[in-house]
Chains A and B, each alone.
Chain A
Amino acid sequence: MNLAVAEAQGCALKAKDFSSGAHPIWCPGCGDFGVLAALERALALLGRPPHEVVLVSGIGCSSRLPGYMNCYGFHGVHGRALATATGLKLARPDLEVIALGGDGDGFSIGGNHFIHTCRRNVDMLYIVMDNRVYGMTKGQPSPTTESDWDSELIPGGSRLPPFNPVAMAVTAGATFVARGYSGDPQGLAELIVAGSKWPGFAFVEVLSPCVTFRPEEFEWKRKVRHDGVLVENDRGAAVSAALSDDGFSLGILFRGKGPRVDHQPPTTTLAAIEEQFLLPSPDMA
């Protein structure tokens, strides 16, 4: 959907309706500012009022985002945003639930939840602001960091192959996988809207530079390309494309099928359930 067209049509909600006005702790130039702007824009376009939206996050720079927006939020423990969001969405399917956080939160300490949330296909959106570094603890390599990236903790680089979030998501069973860039808030907002509307688990990896500990990531603005090819249903082809890609192609990269999560209305009463425990008096037996 074209945002400019939608805005011209006069959406009832504006991006600023979703801003809390609190000043982010992020460093000047942090990519996460772009994600915040894109998210506010996307939610305005989506049309759900702030009180029907819940942002769930873990720990890290990007996980501070819920505090900067005007909607419900849950700033939990490190790595567990997806679990918290899953519980919330299953308990309250009427809410718009968006989980978000960074690459360390989502792929390292929370890696197991990432895999199983992809499998579960609960109807919610997950935005990972991937800056390929632990920023809040001042510059250690994360799972997506290049293997030769030099740091105080691991001089010369970790020598570990970087985690490929898109390939992993497709492999684990995600039904909507996209990649956006924080320097393109408009394009990112469109991905967020598409992911939010997707009837299942939608994962959007956002390249969001850390200008403090990874100043070379300034160059991402020259590397990103709006040439991501959408693969429908064929997980093998999507994984193959993700593994051969350099990680800078943007767009919706995969859409596929997954389990439906149904919500059943009550079919009995507690009193009826309790009856199974009552022993008949022996004369009746």
Chain B
Amino acid sequence: MGRTSLSVVFAGSGGSGAMTAGQLFLQAAAAAGYYGIMTQLFGAQVRGGESAALVQVSTEPVESPPDRYELFVAIDWEKIDQFAPEIPLDDGSIVICDPAAGQVPAAIAKSKARVLTVSFDDPAVTRLERALRGRRANVCAAALVATLIGLPSRHLDSALIKLLGKKSAEVFEANKRALKYGAQLAKTLPVTLALDDAAPGERWFISGNRAAALGALRGGVRFVGCYPITPATDLVEWLAPHIRELGGNLVLAEDELAAINMVLGASYGGIPAMTVTAGPGLSLMTEAIGLGVAAEIPAVIIDVMRAGPSTGIASKTEQSDLNIAIYGSHGDAPRIVLAPTSIGDCAYTTEWAVGLAETIQTPVLVLSDQAMGQASGAIPAPTRRPSPGKRRTETKAGEPFKRYAIGSDPNTPMPRPGTEGCEWVAEGLTHNEAGLPVSAAAAHAAQINKRAKKLAQIDPGADWGECWGDGDTAIITFGSGVAPAREAAIRRNKAGQATRVIALRLLSPLPRKALRDALEGTRRVVVLEQNHTGQLLQYLRANDAVPASTESMARPGPLPFRPAEILSRLIEERA
């Protein structure tokens, strides 16, 4: 048996092509049948900052960040000090670099990783050609690593066509030469990193953000109002042409206030609608989310979380928007909050969000995060779909229509404008059953109760979340915490320390019964979340949903949780 996985970093200054190197390598590995993911490490600068592509390829599905990187390929050493502390290397790691780029910096050398030197510059290419057409060290580096794991060159060729096929013939030829040279270089290195054959299975190449966009389309979203914000922009960039191809609209709004209100307008018109944002945008949207709650307008809001508060770290991950997602808005404004449990599950959860929004006629927030949203790769095909949800629109002829009627079913019909005889006003003021503004205590209580009842009646069935294993230690987590928690649990189970992982897909309203069942037989419960205050644990405690002895494993982002960190904290906390 050989090697089953490889973790590799392609690093360089912004503009060095490190991301392209990562994508090229990953696409080639995916074409050869492997699973894999790539996450991106960026600085705040648009150009010229630090950048690193963090890639894992494996014979089995892989989503957890690795404990350490086995291979570090330096396309150049500029800006390395800015991110070296965030890339774990050790004396078992290998660094591949070009002596022409200078000495190995201390920040990397101190890991005691083995250093292998190569020249990324093909001696067959003249200096003039290099000056004219660029170095292509990144393409060379990708080919080098691909060849080291044993990928046939045809997969590199096909990946190159996919990624850079639209460049001019001259540039493409230069890239092909760099590819060939990189493959030759690999044969000169005294290492072999050949991977075993991949396990068969239907695979998709997708990112979390694209999966969420696809889920929205699957759910029937045909209107999107949005404003650009990192790390959510690539979601709408993918969505824009496709929603139009399906006859829908995507509008670039003037700000997030407009985006969410456009969504409410479109949804009032009967078209499932969505907006996509990150923390600062969500803060701006909270007033209108309250309107969606009060006026009972379906809406999906995806928050690709990043480090906060305020502008925080725009390009890096955190899970600190849980409080604003669940509670943000004045007044009693309960809403639905979901979190995907994996990259592929972004499609499932977002499709479910659309169905829930339409059925319950209320805003539904989907808490993704940068680590999950901007991770892309070859994953098991997300073919499972939630059962669809539709909004009620039917009305009884002959009776005066009351949009906000109090009766046995709190989900009252919401006829589309254009339906004769049902003219109604979506109303954010406290209103009576007909929707007319009133300020009487009884009507206020009646409508608050109606809306609370809608949420209380939700039966998520098996969609509430996932529970893996039946160990007496349980890790409760959500979003991008799930993958490393599962990897940590697998290792503990192998060591005889039976551990289960509980991933909450439905965060609000809290599925108390399902969670209670999932915790059955546990003796130790820890809550893993990426924020400073322990927002999830506080929420679970407020709902009396976890034992008093529950431990917090909370820390802020932006560094991802790694399995080894979870394992060591499980030991520390106990001690």
Contact = CB atoms under 8 A, between A and B. Distances in A.
Contacts of B155: 282, 285
Given A72-B425, A83-B265, 15 more contacts: A52-B417, A74-B264, A83-B259, A85-B265, A86-B251, A87-B261, A90-B266, A91-B222, A91-B266, A92-B417, A112-B254, A116-B254, A268-B245, A273-B245, A281-B200
Interface of B: 30-33, 154-155, 158, 198, 200, 202-206, 210, 214, 217-218, 222-223, 225, 242, 244-247, 249, 251, 253-255, 257-259, 261-271, 273, 287-288, 291, 295, 378, 381, 416-429, 436-437
A115 B222 CA distance: 26
Contact of B417 (A22, A51, A279, A282): A51
Given A265-B247, A273-B245, A87 B32 contact: no
A95 interface: yes
A255 to B, nearest CB: 24
B257 A83 contact: yes
A282 B251 CA distance: 39
A75 B270 CA distance: 16
A137 B155 CA distance: 68
A277 to B, nearest CB: 4
Contact of B203 (A56, A264, A270, A279): A279
Contact of A88 (B247, B265, B419): B265
A280 B262 CA distance: 39
Contacts, number: 185
A278 interface: yes
Contacts of B214: 273-274, 277
B217 A76 contact: no
B296 to A, nearest CB: 12
A122 to B, nearest CB: 9
A46 to B, nearest CB: 16
B30 to A, nearest CB: 6
Q: Is the interface of A mostly helix, strand, loop or mixed?
A: mixed
28 contacts: A52-B418, A56-B265, A74-B425, A75-B428, A75-B437, A77-B288, A79-B257, A80-B288, A83-B253, A83-B261, A83-B262, A87-B225, A87-B263, A88-B266, A89-B265, A90-B223, A90-B249, A91-B222, A92-B271, A95-B418, A113-B257, A265-B247, A266-B245, A268-B245, A273-B217, A278-B202, A280-B31, A285-B158
A53 B560 CA distance: 51
Given A54-B417, A90-B249, A268-B246, A279 B428 contact: no
Contacts of A77: 261, 287-288, 291, 428
Nearest to B200: A281
B218 to A, nearest CB: 7
Contacts of B154: 285
Contacts of A49: 420
Residue among A56, A74, A80 with max Cβ neighbours from chain B (10 Å) = A74
Contact of A91 (B245, B273, B420): B273
B249 A76 contact: no
A79 B267 CA distance: 19
Interface in A70-107: 70-77, 79-80, 82-92, 94-95
Given A50-B423, A91-B273, A277-B204, A76 B291 contact: yes
Given A77-B287, A84-B262, A51 B423 contact: yes
A54 B90 CA distance: 65
Interface string A36-78: 0000000000000111101010000000101100111111110
Interface of A: 22, 49-52, 54, 56, 64, 66-67, 70-77, 79-80, 82-92, 94-95, 112-113, 115-116, 264-270, 273-274, 277-282, 285
A285 B261 CA distance: 46
Contact of A113 (B254, B429, B437): B254
B271 A22 contact: no
Give the interface centre of A70, A95, A115, A273 by most chain B CB atoms within 10 Å. A273
B137 to A, nearest CB: 26
A269 B245 CA distance: 8
Contact of B269 (A76, A95, A278): A95
A49 B422 CA distance: 12
Contact of A73 (B31, B378, B424, B429): B424
B424 A76 contact: no
A107 to B, nearest CB: 15
A91 B222 CA distance: 8
Contact of A279 (B268, B378, B429, B437): B378
A74 B204 contact: no
Nearest to B218: A270
A279 B217 contact: no
A72 B271 CA distance: 16
A79 B257 CA distance: 9
A112 B255 contact: yes
B417 A90 contact: no
A52 B418 CA distance: 5
B33 A282 contact: yes
A267 B426 CA distance: 33
Contacts of B218: 270
B424 A51 contact: no
* Closest 6 A/B residue pairs (Cβ): A87-B262, A87-B265, A282-B33, A73-B425, A91-B266, A84-B265
Contacts of B198: 282
Contacts of A50: 423
Contact of A92 (B33, B251, B418): B418
A76 B249 CA distance: 22
Contacts of A56: 265
A266 B247 contact: yes
A259 to B, nearest CB: 13
Contacts of A266: 245-247
B398 to A, nearest CB: 16
A231 B217 CA distance: 45
B33 A281 contact: yes
A158 B8 CA distance: 63
B258 A116 contact: yes
B421 A74 contact: no
Nearest to A22: B436
A94 B258 CA distance: 22
